[in-house]
Amino acid sequence: MAKYKHYDYKQMVMLPISLEDQLSPGTLEFAIHTLVETRMDLSLFDDKYKNDETGRLAYDPKILLKIVLFAYSRGLTGSRKIEQACRENVVFMALSCGEKPDHSTIAAFVSSMKDQVIPLFRDVLLVCEEEGLLSGTFFALDGLKLSSNASMQWSGTHSTLLKKKERLEAKVKQLLEEHEREDKGDDDPPGPGSFRGSGSRERQIERLQKHAERIDKWLSENDKKIGTNGKEITSNITDNDSAKMITSHGYIQGYNSQALIDDKHQVVVQAEAFGTVSDHDHVAPLMDGAKENMQAIGRDEDYFRGATFVADTNYHSKSNIKKCEEMELDAYIPDRYYRRRDPRYETQKRYWPKRKRFHLEDFHYDEAGDEYVCPNGKRLKRKVREFYRDGLVYSIYTAEEKDCRGCTLKLKCLTARSGKRKYLWVPIAVQLSNLSRRMAGKVDTEKGRKIYPQRIAIAEPVFANIRTHKRLDRFTLRGKIKVNIQWLLYCMVHNIGKIATYGFT
């Protein structure tokens, strides 16, 4: 019969551990430890503490910064999880030197770094510059939309939120009336385990009242949010700095996290989180911030002059292109129609997904009468010769209301159920401003078609590293200031990883 060594999980083991030996050269934790101890100025935190004569001793900011940066590299964003790691994980124990800060200390430290996070980011950027990780000649700008610590359930315009409050109050009134009728004995007594007999109604009434009061208080204390077009946009009661935005995964309530990246080793030279969906005004703040960062680490104010700059079509706007010209950047920002003009795509077969509704190609053009014939044989006549929208010039053709009213194909043709007739928009030309036209022509050149595709190889690996490897899939803090702190810390960890791989370690 086989014999095996006995084991017992209840036994106690004393393990002699050298904390310093856990921080092996070449690892990310060693890079974090070395940079925080020797290259980052954490005296910035001294003014926040008033315990030089009386009061309890505080945790050293170096210890707190080390464990937060390493936690973010492991995908731990919650302060309670970081606290647990400091008690259970040997590497966290080594970085914290055996200290065990609680979650409230960790959360308060991160949330209060408004004035310290940018200088610390620049300290890491200085090391990247000294280690030769920056080229200074080619930069890419891109963004990553991430969910915030807020729910879309609490989003809407002021009128929408007011209607929601009224619906909640009406529901409360209905539940109270039902409760009153039961007390009077007007209704049959509830059966065993029923909703009305379990006290759930009282809890529901209390919850709905709190929701209604919360909306009412918020509406009385906050003004409407106005977009760049001068119209009201949706607000959010939980985090009003965030915005409702569309992503490849659907709609989210979140932030648009931007990063300006150097091409040599994908080092982030500037980062900022915005509560706006559009990228039409993001070049100026990112480039101004990057310029300040490079001057802070000793480079001159003309550091970016002549550098190549690439960004995707979302950044093609008058203000962004104008900023690039002011900074004398060799910029390549294509408009949304640049692929249509690219001769390389003329003969390429394209995949067209299954359509649920009719599109322009389903309508036959009758050149003699300047009319379009719909799939049901009805004719659409031109109503507008030239209509300008989103950089394109359209001719608009309309059908007769009587032709669409009883059409059997109406559901496949009209986008709105209440639509009375078909409006067919036919693009006939591209209309761009002078700045946009010059930029479009620049991207369409042979040189532009070679430079612009390099954006993917520069920017996408950074966001893949942060979102997938470091598992930042949502922000855990609320408000632009705190979210921006968290985003900068993640970009800082990314840069430290580059130093660990290519730098002094």
Per-residue tokens: 337: 């129609």
Given 3.90.79.10, 3.30.420.10, 3.90.1150.10, 3.40.50.1700, which CATH number is that of 126-149+238-335+435-502?
A: 3.30.420.10
Q: Does the pLDDT of residue 288 top 90, yes or no?
A: yes
Q: In terms of Cα–Cα distance, which of 2, 81, 74 is closest to 32?
A: 74
Q: Does the pLDDT of residue 215 top 80, yes or no?
A: yes
Q: Does the pLDDT of residue 435 top 90, yes or no?
A: no
Per-residue tokens: 176: 């109270």
Q: How confident is the model at residue 433 (pLDDT cuts 50, 70, 90)?
A: low
* CA-to-CA dists, residue 314 to 18, 38, 251, 361, angstroms: 51, 41, 17, 27
pLDDT tens digits, 221-273? 999 999 877 889 999 999 999 999 988 878 999 999 999 999 999 999 999 99
Cα 323 off chain centre by: 23
The count of other CB atoms within 10 Å of the CB of residue 91 is: 18
Query: Of residues 347 and 47, which shows the higher confidence score?
Result: 47
Spatial contact of 462 and 266, defined as CB atoms under 8 Å apart: yes
Give pLDDT, residue 177.
87
Q: Does the pLDDT of residue 94 top 50, yes or no?
A: yes
**Burial class of residue 115 (count of CB atoms within 10 Å of its CB; 0-12, 13-18, 19+):** exposed
**What's phi and psi for 277, nearest 5 deg?**
-80, -45
Q: Which residues of 198-233 are buried (b: 16+ CB within 10 A; e: fewer)?
A: eeebeeebeebbebbeebeebbeeeeebeeeeeeee
pLDDT tens digits, 371-398? 999 999 999 999 988 887 666 788 999 9
Give residues with Cβ within 8 angstroms of 483, minimum separation 6. 148, 241, 242, 255, 273, 475, 477
pLDDT tens digits, 107-132? 999 999 999 999 999 999 999 999 99
Indicate the range of 10-14, 55-59, 247-251, 340-344 predicted with least confidence: 340-344
Amino acid at 153: Q
When mean pLDDT is compared over 52-56, 178-182, 313-317, 402-406, the highest value belongs to 313-317
Share of the chain above pLDDT 90, in %: 70
Indicate the range of 93-107, 277-291, 417-431, 441-455 predicted with least confidence: 417-431
The count of other CB atoms within 10 Å of the CB of residue 497 is: 20
Q: Does the pLDDT of residue 3 top 50, yes or no?
A: yes
Spatial contact of 106 and 130, defined as CB atoms under 8 Å apart: no
Average pLDDT for 4-28: 90
Give pLDDT, residue 188.
55
Q: Does the pLDDT of residue 356 top 50, yes or no?
A: yes
Find where tokens 């509560």 sit: 275
Q: How confident is the model at residue 349 (pLDDT cuts 50, 70, 90)?
A: low
Q: What is the mean pLDDT of the chain?
A: 90
Give pLDDT, residue 351.
57
Q: In terms of Cα–Cα distance, which of 482, 445, 504 is closest to 117?
A: 482
Q: Does the pLDDT of residue 478 top 50, yes or no?
A: yes
Q: Does the pLDDT of residue 86 top 70, yes or no?
A: yes
* Triad 31, 491, 286: Cα angle to 5°: 140
Average pLDDT for 460-487: 96
To the question of pTM greater than 0.85 for the whole model, the response is: no
Give pLDDT, residue 192.
47
Stated as kind and residue range, the H or E segment containing 236 is: strand 235-236
Average pLDDT for 498-503: 92
**What's phi and psi for 430, nearest 5 deg?**
-105, 130
Give pLDDT, residue 126.
97
Q: In terms of Cα–Cα distance, which of 136, 135, 132, 38 is closest to 503?
A: 132
Cα four-point dihedral sign 484, 488, 493, 494 = positive
* Domain residue ranges of the chain, discontinuous segments joined by +: 20-48+57-112, 126-149+238-335+435-502, 158-223, 360-431
Average pLDDT for 30-34: 96
Q: Does the pLDDT of residue 194 top 50, yes or no?
A: no
